[in-house]
Amino acid sequence: MHIMEGFLPLDWAVFWWIIALPCMAFGIYRLKKVLEADREALPLLGVTGGFMFILSSLKLPSVTGSSSHPTGTGLSTICFGPWITSVVAAIVLLFQALFLAHGGLSTLGANIISMGVVGPLAGYGVYRALRETRVNMYLTVFLVCALADLLTYITTSLELALAYPAEVGGVSSSFILFIGIFAITQVPLAIVEGVVLALVFKYIVQLKPEILLRLKIFPEEKIRAARSEA
Amino acid sequence: MPFKYKLEILAILAVLGFCALFLYTSSIMSDAKFAGSDTVGSSQIAEMTGKAEDEFQPLIWQWTPPSGEIESALFALQAAIGGIIVGWVFGYWKRQKKKTA
C-alpha cells in the first residue's frame, strides 16, 4: 500500500500530510493519557506494535500474480483505538521510507492516512459494533484485523485515483483500476492476517487477561468465558 | 479434534490454504512475476500519465538500498525488531504470572 516517493504530486502529498498530522498529534496525546493511567499498558503496546513490524515486513505472493504485505494494525486498533495506532503505524512507515525505499517522506502522510487512520478507523467501527454483542470475541478480532488490512489498500487506491483520475471516466474508473491492483491482491492476505492475529489475541488472553480487563478491551464475561474454554 | 486448539487448527488451515492458492496461481499464471503491488501500482501510474517511471523524481531525497539482498536484509531486520519485542513481552508476562501464582 506504499505510495512510492515522487508518485504523488506535491499538492496531494501536502494535503494528506495536513490530515495526518492532527491524527498523530491526537494519538500522541491519547498515548500519554493511557500510559499515565496504567504503565502496564506499555508491554501490550509493545506486542501490538511488534506484530505491526513483523507482519508489514512480510511480502507475500497473491492471486493477482503480484505480492503484497499485511498491515498488522488490527490488534493495536482493538487495544488502543485508531489514533494511537496511527502513531505506531507512522513509526513502521518511517522505518520503511528511510531504510527500504518503500514509500517516501513526501508520501508518508498519504501512507499514514491509509494504514494508520482509515484502515484502523474501519476496524474500530466493527469492534465497537460487536464488542457488547454475543458475537464470539475471536471472530470480532478476526473481522477487525481483516477489515483494517483491506480498507488500508482501498484507501491507497482512492488516494491514487484522486491524484490520477482517468481521462475517460475520471476518478471512479481510475479507482476501480487501482482497486484491481491493490485490493484484490489483498483479500487472501487480509483473511490470513485476521486468523493469525485472532490466535495472537488468544495468547494475550491466556497470558495477561488483567491488562485486557483493566483497559476494558472486552467485557469481563467474554474474557472469562474465553479463558475457561482454553 | 481437541476443542482447546480450535483456533490453532484454523490458523494452520488458513496458512496452508494460502500456500495452496499460491501454488495454484503460479501454475496457471506462468508469466506472473509476483512483483510488489506497490511496483505494479507505480507502473500503472506511469502508463496512465504517459511518463516513464524514472521521470517520477523524488520530491524529497531518498536513500535506496544498493541491492535486493541488502533490501531483504533490512526487511528481515524489521521483522526481527518486531519479533524481539513480542518475545520479550510474552516472556515478561509469563514471569509475572509465575511470580503471582
Chain A CB within 8 Å of residue B44 CB: yes
Residues in chain B, how many? Answer: 101
Please give the C-alpha separations between residue B32 and each of A63, A183, B40, in angstroms, as whole numbers: 10, 18, 12
The alpha-helical segments, DSSP class H, found in chain A are 10-37, 41-55, 74-99, 108-112, 119-130, 137-163, 170-207, 209-214, 220-229
- Nearest residue of chain B to residue A50 (CA atoms): B82
pLDDT digits 0-9 by tens, B2-45:
478 899 999 999 999 999 999 999 898 888 888 889 889 999 99
Instruction: Show the low-confidence residues of chain A (pLDDT under 70).
Output: 230
Whole-model pTM: value is: 0.95
Domain boundaries along the sequence of chain B: 1-56, 67-101
Q: Which residue has the cell 510474552?
A: B90
Mutate to test the interface with B, among A10, A17, A51, A59 (most CBs of B within 10 A): A59
- What is the C-alpha to C-alpha distance for residues A148 and A146, in angstroms, rounded to an integer? 6
Residue closest to A65 by CA, chosen among B40, B53, B75, B47? B40
DSSP, collapsed to helix, strand or coil, labels residue A189 as helix
- What is the C-alpha to C-alpha distance for residues B51 and B47, in angstroms, rounded to an integer? 7
Q: Percent of chain B, pLDDT > 90? A: 63
DSSP, collapsed to helix, strand or coil, labels residue B56 as coil
Query: How much is the pLDDT for A144?
Result: 98
Round the average pLDDT of chain B to a whole number and report it. 91
Domains and CATH numbers, chain A: 10-229 (1.10.1760.20)
CA distance A215 to chain B (A): 16
Residue closest to A189 by CA, chosen among B81, B39, B19, B82? B19
CA distance A90 to chain B (A): 14
Residue closest to A118 by CA, chosen among A142, A138, A89? A89
Query: How much is the pLDDT for B1?
Result: 43
Residue A228: how many CB atoms within 10 A of its CB?
7
Q: Which residues of B touch A96 (CB under 8 A)?
A: 78
Statement: residue B101 has pLDDT above 80: no
Query: How much is the pLDDT for B4?
Result: 82
ipTM for the complex? 0.91
- What is the C-alpha to C-alpha distance for residues B63 and B65, in angstroms, rounded to an integer? 7
Q: Which three cell numbers stand for residue A9?
A: 504530486
Residue B65: how many CB atoms within 10 A of its CB?
16
Residues in chain A, how many? Answer: 230
In the stretch 4-63 of chain A, residues with CB closer than 8 A to chain B read 4-7, 10, 13, 43-44, 46-47, 49-63
